[in-house]
Structure 1
């Protein structure tokens, strides 16, 4: 009995190479910290056997493997590969594979390059951002394809559409966002009218401020201002919500349950933006016209009848359509950017804050670019 116990706990139970044949080494024993000397001796034998050739290490009969044993095996693999050989594992149990993967060789971080001047760093950063912007466009187009595909699946199976989630998002985007849109649009309309009157009255043409605010608000400023505020309010909320779900692994849980995160999380939000932003644009334009009208009557000496008559003469129905046509495209852009940034969040609060900031900045930038493209397009077709 004593000799059996010694066999289980003594040198015979230590790490060793039990057999070697045709480039295959069978290991047994305990490859653990308490067998450190035996582990190192066996590793040296493995390194000698694998010098300049391919070998396979069989772990089938290894009793125990801890972090030290796995690290020594991986270190030996690195030495063999550095000498021109190759080492592979066979018979590894799942816990062995996990441990070997965790202690696996990592490429060392590249040493910091020589420091350059400020101008070089500025140009280098600019180039990297331009290249990153191109990658963002490719990613956005690919993600748009996923959203369109998910919308197609929902259209083919209407019962799968999450109506309650859509209605909730419309409430969050449009209904709860209307007060701040109305207030800011009203104030901006009044400011534009006031500054316009002060400039036009030098020529005795303060009555033309109605043409100014009518065209500016309905064609450009109404939809642009509303989109910027929605990007800052709803777009950032979308990124934060999806990013938080990513941090808590709720998105992975949806995939485990067989649900498509794009169909469950993205489609209701983007459709709510596409529906809600045109409504907010119209409401915001009316509020801005009200603020501009009150300012024109207070500073420009216009009556209500004069203001309405000049507004009707200066603004056609197609000017209203110009602003409303832009709104769904801007909503789609904001939704795509916000959700992409949400899915890009990693497992830290710093990452969440960084991607929320990127979502707002990118959305506002793309909204302004899109508005400029539409302005060129409508000018080209004389609309």
Structure 2
């Protein structure tokens, strides 16, 4: 068959969209306005280009007078049709404006076809594996972030003049001082509830006086620090994530880096130190409030006098029980601070992202606090402390 040129739009002088196709050489010369007002002509010209089939095609845009998003989209759609058939398309004579439009209208990779459907067991194992891998990655990133915080603390220790004492005092006020009322109230109520239920059960055996041993050991060793850590995670941990996340959204963290300041030294170190200092103090307040609530309940329901309660409590506990709870507090504070600040730095530029990371910070902190408490309980039982 003899090669010939095909004019898809005979009217070349009025600026209408046209395509001159050299079928033998696989070359196409576009001309006119490939714009929305030339929609039918653009579609007709594109159909002629697509008819070239599965071969290398060179599309010359040198004679185009104008190209808009519709024309670029039709060209990219046509390119996709040719490449789907095994051909290839190359644009020549493009201007920077043409390249921008064609790039914006560029073909997206089609979604991979859905694989074969598997059973519920396979889906469960697959989801479990993915969550496990994601959890391991989060643990590794948390350890790396902890290393950055320790390094920042070392730099501050070597240069004490750079430490922001005012920020530390302000954070201690927010974490510890302003948290005393709610923590004391909740601990008082929980101590009373534990004592009440213990008395009701021990009365069956005539051993209601042993409720003092129960609440003394339970509160000082486990419940006081656990309640405090959970409330601090929900109160201060979420606040840390929200504050840092808001700064990320307003690009204030990037501004600190531009000014040559270390965001970890300025934002993270004071907050984590405030948690490490404040949580043991709040734990002591929580334990005393819970013991007060348990003592009041024991007097009301168990018939114990204040003197008998205090004498029994003194015989049941010792100083090392208090230390068990206080030793756990700094580790839980460090865990809460690391998780809260990591989630804060992970916030992106939307309110939805902020809410999602605040929720994740609270949930992860509470989970890690409970897990740490269990590990410490096993450890202290192993060393008989």
Category of TM-score, reference length = shorter chain: 0.7 to 0.9
Sort the Cα spacing of 1:70 and 1:251 in 2 relative to 1 into closer, same or farther, 3 A: farther
User: Which residue number corresponds to residue 16 of structure 1?
Assistant: none
Sort the Cα spacing of 1:208 and 1:137 in 2 relative to 1 into closer, same or farther, 3 A: same
TM normalised by structure 1 equals 0.76
Is residue 2:302 matched to residue 1:271?
no
User: Which residue number corresponds to residue 135 of structure 2?
Assistant: 133
Sort the Cα spacing of 1:378 and 1:116 in 2 relative to 1 into closer, same or farther, 3 A: same
Task: Give the alignment of 1:204-223 within 5 angstroms.
Answer: 204-223=206-225
Sort the Cα spacing of 1:187 and 1:101 in 2 relative to 1 into closer, same or farther, 3 A: farther
Distance in 2 (alpha carbons) for counterparts of 1:33 and 1:256: 45
User: Which residue number corresponds to residue 245 of structure 2?
Assistant: 243
2:173 counterpart (161, 171, 174): 171
Sort the Cα spacing of 1:237 and 1:103 in 2 relative to 1 into closer, same or farther, 3 A: farther
User: Which residue number corresponds to residue 257 of structure 2?
Assistant: 255
User: Which residue number corresponds to residue 313 of structure 1?
Assistant: 315
User: Which residue number corresponds to residue 147 of structure 2?
Assistant: 145
TM normalised by structure 2 equals 0.76
User: Which residue number corresponds to residue 336 of structure 2?
Assistant: 334
- The CA deviation at 1:208 is 1.1
- The CA deviation at 1:226 is 0.7
Moved more, 278-287 or 265-274: 265-274
User: Which residue number corresponds to residue 305 of structure 2?
Assistant: 303
- The CA deviation at 1:374 is 0.6
Sort the Cα spacing of 1:255 and 1:206 in 2 relative to 1 into closer, same or farther, 3 A: same
- The CA deviation at 1:108 is 3.6
1:227 counterpart (226, 229, 249): 229
Q: Deviations over 1:351-381 (max 9, x none)?
A: 2222111111111111111011111111111
Runs of 5+ unmatched residues, structure 2: 1-12, 15-32, 46-54, 57-65
- The CA deviation at 1:334 is 0.7
Distance in 1 (alpha carbons) for counterparts of 2:354 and 2:257: 21
Distance in 2 (alpha carbons) for counterparts of 1:103 and 1:263: 45
Runs of 5+ unmatched residues, structure 1: 1-9, 12-29, 42-50, 53-63
Q: Which has the higher Rg, Structure 1 or Structure 2? A: 2
Sort the Cα spacing of 1:381 and 1:104 in 2 relative to 1 into closer, same or farther, 3 A: farther
CA-based RMSD? 4.2
Sort the Cα spacing of 1:199 and 1:106 in 2 relative to 1 into closer, same or farther, 3 A: same
- The CA deviation at 1:186 is 0.2
Sort the Cα spacing of 1:75 and 1:203 in 2 relative to 1 into closer, same or farther, 3 A: same
Instruction: Give the number of aligned pairs.
Output: 364
User: Which residue number corresponds to residue 126 of structure 2?
Assistant: 124
Give the SS at the match of 2:176: helix
Task: Give the alignment of 1:82-97 within 5 angstroms.
Answer: none
Sort the Cα spacing of 1:167 and 1:301 in 2 relative to 1 into closer, same or farther, 3 A: same
User: Which residue number corresponds to residue 22 of structure 1?
Assistant: none
Task: Give the alignment of 1:1-383 within 5 angstroms.
Answer: 106-383=108-385
Give the SS at the match of 1:176: helix
- The CA deviation at 1:163 is 2.0
